[in-house]
Chains A and B, each alone.
Chain A
Amino acid sequence: MKGFSFPKAVVYKEWCQIRGWLVLLAVVFWAAPVKTVVRYWTGVQAHPEQQPLLAASVVQMLQGLHPHFASVSWTAAAALVLGVVPMSLERARGGLLLTFSGPVRRQDVVRVQAVFCLAGVWVALLLLTVYLFVVNAAFGHVVTTGDIAGWFLFQGLLKSAVFMVGFAVTTSVGNLIAAILCALGLAGFPIYVSLMIQELAHTSIQPVPFDEVVWRVANDVMALSPLAGPGVSDAPLWCLGGWYAVWALGWYIAAETLFRRLPLEREGALFAYPALWHVLFAGVGLIVGTVCGELAVGGMDFDPRRTPVLTAVWLPMAALTWVGLHQVRRWWIRRLRSA
């Protein structure tokens, strides 16, 4: 097996297992654009007098191809789910033990699966781009070829980034639903940071509306999440595209490292690494502390004078929740062992 980066056997197995999911992903990517054009043709045949009105919807879709206007829709979430589902289902069914009972190296499985899925994402997008190019030509070149190419490149990078988050998460989180939630949480992390910046700024400069600088910083931070999309930021597209490429690469390295170290004893466990329980409990503690703090100061309308009250409630509640959850887990483990 040495020297083979993509062993034929692993490629064959992954192809058999993943091809169905790739077809499903392509259907999700294609659904809206194809539906728009089909609606146009059927509408024109039934009501020829409404042709201009129906054409407007196609033109609107084509105009949306400019990367700056590309709203991130559920297609990004589909890419994220693609990152999670194949590995997660294999783990849930005890498939990893079966796979590694053969002469298969872990890094080969990760590499082949990542390459297959990413290739599926890019091929689906490329075919969609060709389709959109044809539609664009049929409607008199509503947008430029450069815009279509830019859209393809940007969407590819963005979906690669969001796919990789899901892929990395599933190497550590065993349950499908938990893995999807965790991946959404991680992919959306910059959005929460942005919200926090806005909230803090709102608290400190009330009643004056947002300062322009704070607004810009918050939006730029939010744009770092592939779930937020480029429309929220004025940052150059090449910059955001580069960021998503780095994001995808970073998460891939994380996925390969975590998967190589994955203890197969914990194949079906919720968290393959017990340390992740600390992160979960800290997160829950943060949320509980925030909710309690907000209740204590009387809702979302912050008053700077109430900040000490908020902190006094938030900190103990977050810490108590964190400690309490740990105690519950310890008690549960002791009970399981004694049983």
Chain B
Amino acid sequence: MVWTVETIDLRKVFDGRIVLDSVSLAVPAGSIHGVVGANGAGKSTLLRILMGLYRPTGGQVRVLGELVGDEAAELRQRVHLVASEGDLPRAMRVRDYLHYHRLLYHRWDDGRCQRLLEALELPVRRSLRHLSQGMKTQLRLAAALSARPDVLLLDEPTNGLDPVVKRQFLQLLVQEAAGAGTTIVIATHHLDDLDRIADGITVLYNGRAVASGQLDALKQRVKRVQAVLPGEIPEAVRQHPGVVDVVRSGQMVTVTVDGDVDAVMAALRQAGAQYCEVLDLELDELFRHFMDKEGYRREGILLS
């Protein structure tokens, strides 16, 4: 299979610190792939390497089948990065910024740009220095989509967007992936957004990809079993290699299982469980599960 975005054993060391360590990622064409991770996990660095902005220390990076190098100017005609970081040129107005992109991109679509401007209600005469953070992000997205990209890389795109605009923003992304076949990679902390639109996901922790694949497959792998169990939790459940977490609340027992759920269900039933059901995990629960496995957790703080 030919991947639109692919990294093989990608490694980035910066000032002696390992930012990315052997990250392998494969994103098929026309899909939406989420990159999630704790703060400083290397999400933004990964996207910047995919754009050819940062040089990898080791491994391979291919986007649209081409090796990404230092001077990837031609490739960037088809690959766009929309980041919430970095200031837009302050001396420009919205229409100047869009005109700059019109001159820059061969596949610029004026009709599309006009429709996006109207839909996003962007003020074309306003100076970029007077735009809010949310407006700047919308403008960047409008500019990127008007250039009809093959690959769209988004770094924390929903930061600063109100819920209404965020919904519109996400709809645009889904439409772009489904309609135009654009491959989208999103790095974000907003897991509920991602849960609604992503086909695949990569979880980064301390520069390592601790999980990567189709979101459905990952959700299929990690399940939650809830049972009403009057008696003791059987050792067979506690000792099962796939059991990650066991929580008891009264008679209700919740078991998180990474692997074979059937064996756990059988053990619970054998122990006298009156009611037993398997539940899917939400993406944020799945994320917490992977982080727990890596030992990343924060205790609550009691403020007196």
**Chain A: residues with CB nearer than 8 A to chain B?**
1-2, 7-9, 12-13, 16-17, 19-20, 93-95, 97-98, 100-106, 263-265, 333, 337
Q: How far is the CA of A178 from the CA of B80 in the complex (A)?
A: 33
CB pair A101–B85 under 8 Å, yes or no, is no
CB pair B80–A101 under 8 Å, yes or no, is yes
B15 neighbours in A (Cβ, 8 Å)? 333, 337
B54 neighbours in A (Cβ, 8 Å)? 263-265
A106 neighbours in B (Cβ, 8 Å)? 71
CB pair B105–A94 under 8 Å, yes or no, is no
CB pair B85–A95 under 8 Å, yes or no, is no
Q: How far is the CA of A69 from the CA of B117 in the complex (A)?
A: 58
Q: How far is the CA of A2 from the CA of B77 in the complex (A)?
A: 13
B115 located at the interface, meaning its Cβ lies under 8 Å from any Cβ of chain A in the complex = no
- A sample of 23 cross-chain residue pairs with beta-carbon separation below 8 angstroms, ordered by A number, consists of A2-B74, A8-B103, A9-B100, A93-B86, A93-B87, A94-B87, A95-B87, A97-B53, A97-B83, A97-B86, A101-B76, A101-B80, A102-B76, A102-B104, A103-B73, A106-B71, A263-B54, A263-B55, A264-B48, A264-B53, A265-B54, A337-B15, A337-B17
Closest CB pairs A-B (n = 9):
A94-B86, A9-B103, A9-B104, A93-B87, A103-B76, A101-B81, A98-B86, A103-B73, A103-B77
CB pair A16–B76 under 8 Å, yes or no, is no
B51 located at the interface, meaning its Cβ lies under 8 Å from any Cβ of chain A in the complex = yes
User: What is the minimal beta-carbon distance from B265 to any residue of chain A, in angstroms?
Assistant: 46
User: What is the minimal beta-carbon distance from A91 to any residue of chain B, in angstroms?
Assistant: 11
Chain A residues touching B, majority SS: helix
Q: How far is the CA of A120 from the CA of B260 in the complex (A)?
A: 72
B101 neighbours in A (Cβ, 8 Å)? 9, 102
With A1-B73, A102-B76, A104-B73 given, name 15 new contacts (CB 8 A): A9-B103, A19-B91, A94-B87, A95-B89, A97-B83, A97-B85, A98-B83, A98-B86, A98-B88, A103-B73, A103-B75, A103-B105, A106-B71, A263-B54, A263-B55
- How many pairs of A and B residues are in contact by the CB < 8 Å rule? 81
User: What is the minimal beta-carbon distance from B281 to any residue of chain A, in angstroms?
Assistant: 33
Which partner residue on chain B sits nearest A107 by CB separation? B71
The B1-49 residues at the A interface (CB cut-off 8 A) are 14-17, 48
Q: Given A1-B74, A104-B73: A16 and B89 within 8 A (CB)? A: yes
Which partner residue on chain A sits nearest B44 by CB separation? A97
A9 neighbours in B (Cβ, 8 Å)? 100-101, 103-104
B99 located at the interface, meaning its Cβ lies under 8 Å from any Cβ of chain A in the complex = yes
CB pair B103–A105 under 8 Å, yes or no, is no
B14 touches which of A19, A94, A103, A265 (Cβ 8 Å):
A265
Which partner residue on chain A sits nearest B19 by CB separation? A265
A104 touches which of B55, B88, B89, B104 (Cβ 8 Å):
B104
Which partner residue on chain A sits nearest B88 by CB separation? A98
A100 neighbours in B (Cβ, 8 Å)? 53
Q: How far is the CA of A263 from the CA of B55 in the complex (A)?
A: 8
User: What is the minimal beta-carbon distance from B101 to any residue of chain A, in angstroms?
Assistant: 8
B96 located at the interface, meaning its Cβ lies under 8 Å from any Cβ of chain A in the complex = yes
B92 located at the interface, meaning its Cβ lies under 8 Å from any Cβ of chain A in the complex = yes
